[in-house]
Structure 1
């Protein structure tokens, strides 16, 4: 399994989990590939449209 779109605390709508936690969880679920994708900082006052701030495979 692969996940090609994972956000971290470096992204405005990523989770607060440590990168090590992301990797360990992905491995425990059988993922063979994880790609971390980040967005540039959003402007002040921007309302984040992301409904959840957690990795989808948690």
Structure 2
């Protein structure tokens, strides 16, 4: 492995680590506290509503 190969590898590792750090910081700032409460009744209501709306859009009832 030559000098340029090692330098490229080190640069790529640095870039990947920096990207992971940015992703973790973004998750920590914006997603960490987001919570979605779902029970089976509300999920069923949303799913059956989505199916019936899609049928109406296609002209089926």
Class of the TM-score when normalised by the shorter of the 2 chains: under 0.3
Q: So what's the TM-score if we normalise by structure 2?
A: 0.24
**Larger-gyration structure (1/2):** 2
Higher RCO (CA < 8 A, seq sep 6+): 1
Structure with the largest fraction of helix = 2
